[in-house]
Structure 1
Amino acid sequence: MKTTRIDWPEHYIRGRGFRWLGGDEKKLIVEHAPAHEGGRALDVGCGRGEMSVYLASLGYEVDAVDLADAALARARTDHPDATVRWLRLDIERDDPAPLGSERYDLVVFRLSVAFLHDRTRVLHALGRRLREGSTVLVITPLVAHTSAEKRHIALDEDEISALTCGWTSVQRIAVGDLAALVLRGPCADTVATERSVPATGYAVAGALAVVTDEHGRVLLGWSKRGMWELPGGKIEGAEPLDGAGVRELAEETGLHATGATVVTILTDAAQGVPRLTAVIRIAGFTGTLTTAEPHRFTRWEWHDPHALGCLGPVFTPGAQALNAVWPGVIAGLPPVHSYPTANVGPRGAAGCRSTASPPTAASPPGPQAQA
């Protein structure tokens, strides 16, 4: 049965068991992230604190965070003499200010990353807190070695691909029936990527939805094609451009737009086929985010706009659409012709431009989502 965020305190209060820290995991730390004088480590989802105490024994100054007060209480009880700073913090939702501004040499997610929804965003945000050349270490169960009823605690190969995308260095190590991911360099350049199957027909017309949550984060899906994509797809028949974006958003994510505006139309070509892409800014939405088309997408995540240049492969029209809404966030994109609508830009200027680099006139970010 799935353990939810609300269930965690009860889980620890009842003293339910967790997997003990094994010798292979300890060896992994020593070999791939040895402590040095003054080294700092962050243990995310520390639970009862085994990993945190082991890191401290190696010489790390350790911050150990967990969202459950009961977990931290148990850690303090089990390790009363540990030189660890125990912090109650939901790393996905809370202000990270309690972590301070000093950088870390190691960030560890042991058996915890599967419980994060916006895994990519969280890992990249913590990666930016690392000293140069330092490490994020993820230790996770694999679906292939996990029973169906415990699917929620494990990652499959598509989820691992999404999690490791955008890192300069990725090393995967088998630790018994677990997988260890050694990640370094949290900002691999975003690369505009085309789908391997060429478009068919004389031309292709589509619509992409740019939707943000209450924090201004934009929704992207990791597709079965191995790239990040915006919600969207081909226009059906004579439907309006904004209607196509609204329809695709609902079909793919379960979210229902409460307002939509065509902010620009982009034209380019893919494998020699002309392509027209309408960029639809969603004003707000209702509903619950879900992976409504699991045959096409592995998962949907909310991403910080300022980190859009560090994602790895992004479907080319999606990358161009993001750059149309937030000019300059992604560098080195291929040429595209952009036709903003009359209500785009601070002065409402309309017009046509052909560009191989981000537009210079900033488009307004638009209203944030209302869930």
Structure 2
Amino acid sequence: MNPAEVTLPGGRRLRLAGGAGHPRPDGPPNSRIAYAAAHVVADPAADNTPGTPAVLDWDRTLAFRRHLWSYGLGVAEAMDTAQRGMGLDYPTTRELIRRSAAQARAVGGRIVAGVVTDQLPAGPATLTEVTAAYREQLDDVQTAGAVPVLMCSRQLAAAARGPEDYLRVYDELLHAADGPVVLHWLGPMFDPALSGYWGTTDLDLAADTVVELLKAHAARVDGIKVSLLDAGREVALRRRMPAGVRLYTGDDFHYPELIRGDDAGHSDALLGVFAAIAPAAAAALAALDRGDLAAYDEIFAPTVPLARHLFAAPTWYYKTGIVFLAWLAGHQEHFTMVGGLQSGRSPEHLATLLTLADAAGLLPDAELAAARARAFFTVAGVVQ
């Protein structure tokens, strides 16, 4: 067998081409702000099984963030990509934010970090308890030196009885913040427990509440990350937002068109997929900076099929694919995740992901990627 070849489920043979990659830019993009939501690297020798406290490989976890900064991207720390609510406990999260913020200062990189309520015990919580939990994490993130992202809270979704409860909680949090924060609207395709966020399942009414909140606190909000996987809704919301407040797209299906924008405006980026396609994303944004829209479209085009597969339903398991690609690309030495989440996608799904990643030129060392893929598929019962 050729050293760059792998046998996939069903017996199909794939010879990886690898990717020459894209050159590192001189610095961050000028025309857009772009954050990549980074995953965490588990310690493969630890008991990272479901229900156990997370144990991270700190060296590899922080090295991956330096990789993202080296391509001019900001790091969105401790977001859902880092397994918030899916294996990453809050004590480890707090340490992760502290260490990453220190690394950001050392390299001059941008960093935002998630603030939510996942330190609360299981079971119902009152609005007062939810607000206090948010404020505790807000203080932790601000102390670490990162810009807070007020993430959507499962506990708030369960406790709130209507839009007025969301407005009351967010009003208190925004007044407690030391500086402008990023808000967050994560659709139920990413987390079913967030269904009905902002007090209704009617997304038009929910958007009205979001706009009301943004207009009331425009000076306290840097922007809002929107992850609804609906480009039309994102554009409609963007056009209603107060001047000076950014919309950070979290749409891993339509990001090229949303970031490119139109005569009425554009979205900036806070995307999980950017962690998997950092070299391509940096190159595309550099092309946008110099006004080369043809190159921008050409660079991003092969990443879109990859992203659509990576975030296919059930979308919340996209993290498994993110880590699989990081392993194949050489950013970590194993395919192990906290909470045992490496089992979240099937071998068939990951075989397609491998094929699409290679087609997009995202596997810099074809022989390394093939060797690791052969090992994985052998364990899955595919004879090599």
TM-score (norm 1): 0.27
Structure with the largest fraction of helix: 2
TM-score (norm 2): 0.27
Structure with more relative contact order (C-alpha pairs < 8 Å, separation 6 or more): 2
